[in-house]
Chain A
Amino acid sequence: MTTLTVNHISVDISAKKIVNNVSFTVSTGDWLCVIGPNGAGKSTLLRAIAGIIPSSGDLLIDQADLRNMSHRDRACWIAYVAQEPVMPRGMTVFDYVMLGRTAHLRLLASESPQDFEITHYVIAELGLSEFINRDVATLSGGERQRVAIARALAQASPIVLLDEPTTALDIGYQQDVLELIDRLRHEKKIAVISTMHDLTVSGLYPDTLMLLNHGEMAVHGNAKTVLTVERIAQTYGAAVRILDDPRGPIVVPERKTL
């Protein structure tokens, strides 16, 4: 089992604290979902953990310090899928997924037969075989998301960061992607940290929710503790009702005026 420990992490951008003193741990098999209103610092937190932007505080993988690692070593532990992954025109799905093997190759090396094998395996696993020679730039939103997740899986890192994996998708595609992530984290023993907009859905799949507000952690726990009428009113300024369902709380928006 691998555990990512995030201790007192803060991000300053132009002297403004975007993420302030956030701490948590996730282990392989867990799914932590970061929620919060626009500008709460959800994406920034993920980007800081991925090493794209500088941050302060501790980032430990088991006992090892991520900050002392090269980009390549870090990528072997943590994979990241951006909110809108760049899909380079003229690149096939196979080539794109194979990019995930970069972390396992020396800078100027070429892929080994094993890298080809892993790429084929991941593509088959995610039901992308029929797209294998398609230009990634021509894929639909749902297909892009799956291809990007395939790339992260080919990277074979125990921690996967997903920034808004379902935002651009219709409800059916949303479910497909979320079911896929849920299956993979159990089967492949992956720790997933995602951000998400839809509160009801975020209570349905992930084990743990973390509510960010103005860069600070407001509350951290299971869906029942985090998704309450008062909390949502405070942080989102929204009027909602919560319906209790055995599978998780259902957040129903109310009209603010009648």
Chain B
Amino acid sequence: MSQTVSARHTTPGMWLVGALTVLGTVIAGVCIGAVHIAPIDALAVIANHIPGVHCATSASASDSAIIWDLRFPRIVLALLVGAMLATSGCSYQGTFRNPLADPYLLGVSAGAGLGATTCIVLTSNHNVHWLLPLAAFIGAMLAVALTYSLGRSALVGRSATSLVLAGVAVASMLTAIQTLIQQRNSDKIREVYGWILGRLSTSGWTDVELVAPYIVICIAVLFQYRRVLDVFAVGDEEALTMGLPVARARAAIIIAASLGTAAAVSVTGLIGFVGIIVPHSLRLLMGNSYRRLLPQTAIFGGVFLVCADIVARTALAPQEIPIGVVTALIGAPFFLLVLGSSRHGDLT
């Protein structure tokens, strides 16, 4: 029995590996950059912000500022956003039984893109940058709501396929509108592209504070649905006869995944690939049980994005590569490598 239990759940060893990987990546992220910082200083400066802790450190005031005000918030943001995108992708793949599902499946990206583009065009002459995340967020949520209501009414039974197809239609339409706006305001294209390609901002803790509540809550909700995602694996009809309220459970998963994704996208722009390669790489390594997969997906989604960010900051320093470009460039070969060496071999 212990064998079957351990196959379903995350073992303490796996938690330990996850925690150490996160710690290692955070330290690497803080230390690597134009100004080199010793790992011990990084740890000390961060620890000193925990109430009641005081570590002696040789870090100068400017080093401390680089660690706490520039690099660390950026890393925390990467951890949160990476975890959210990977968890959303994984949850969508489960509830739609579609290995190609990603967090942008139901039009989040197109909606956010349209919201952001509209905002950039309308507000360019005013200093209202705080409005951009809000516009992107509203656009994303409206797009998902539109997709869901269209997909629901299109076919009896709210079949998963009709939702996905509605998502494709809504995304095409919103992207077309966005392209039109862009084309008519070609002087803003650069700014719009900067947003679309994704970037982790350097505006200190503001962005983290803005999105952390959404992301933490949405990931917590999705974690609660781990067992349900396993039930979805047998298909809607059989799941229904086993007593799963399929439509209600799917709606809850979609709302949590979309809300979290919209929050992430609103501050970082569109970061592709995380929601697909992270869950699939882990599937290949540890099988398909969502109880095991979902927590690891969150951990390694965050780790992956921090690593991608290190590459984005350093590869062409002092210039920065858009993080969305990096995730695709290093994500795709990495995924092919895992696919090639996997003993599970088959994703479907």
Contact = CB atoms under 8 A, between A and B. Distances in A.
Chain B, interface residues (CB within 8 Å), range: 20 to 34
Interface string A80-106: 101001101111101110011011110
A130 B239 CA distance: 26
A197 interface: no
A184 interface: no
A140 interface: no
B244 interface: yes
A152 to B, nearest CB: 9
A223 B51 CA distance: 81
Nearest to B221: A108
Contacts, number: 97
A132 B230 contact: no
A86 B225 contact: no
B244 to A, nearest CB: 6
Residue picked from B237, B242, B348, most chain A C-beta under 10 Å: B242
A42 B239 CA distance: 21
Nearest to B293: A90
Contact of A91 (B228, B233, B243): B233
Nearest to A113: B1
B236 to A, nearest CB: 9
Contacts of A78: 241
B289 A155 contact: no
Given A71-B245, A99-B231, A107-B249, A82 B238 contact: yes
A48 to B, nearest CB: 12
Nearest to B3: A133
Interface in B220-236: 224-225, 227-228, 230-231, 233-235
B283 interface: yes
A63 interface: no
A80 B238 contact: yes
Given A108-B224, A108-B225, A103 B4 contact: no
A66 interface: no
Contacts of B156: 54
B227 A110 contact: yes
A108 B288 contact: no
Given A91-B288, A99-B231, A155-B242, A120 B1 contact: yes
A173 interface: no
A99 B344 CA distance: 22
B233 A88 contact: yes
A61 interface: no
B237 A72 contact: no
Contacts of B1: 116, 120
B8 interface: yes
Chain A, interface residues (CB within 8 Å), range: 35 or more
A133 B196 CA distance: 45
Contact of B241 (A50, A90, A107): A50
Nearest to A151: B242
B158 to A, nearest CB: 13
Interface string B245-274: 110010000000000000000000000000
A102 B231 contact: yes
A207 B341 CA distance: 54
Given A120-B1, A133-B4, A79 B241 contact: yes
Given A88-B288, A108-B224, A51 B240 contact: yes
A107 B238 contact: no
19 contacts: A51-B241, A52-B240, A71-B240, A71-B246, A72-B243, A75-B241, A75-B242, A75-B243, A86-B238, A89-B348, A90-B344, A91-B230, A91-B233, A95-B289, A99-B242, A100-B242, A108-B227, A108-B228, A155-B243
Given A107-B245, A107-B249, A133-B3, 20 more contacts: A51-B241, A70-B245, A71-B243, A71-B244, A75-B243, A76-B243, A79-B241, A86-B238, A88-B233, A89-B348, A90-B283, A91-B288, A92-B7, A95-B7, A96-B234, A99-B231, A100-B242, A107-B228, A116-B1, A155-B243
Interface of B: 1, 3-5, 7-8, 156, 224-225, 227-228, 230-231, 233-235, 237-246, 249, 283, 287-289, 344, 346, 348
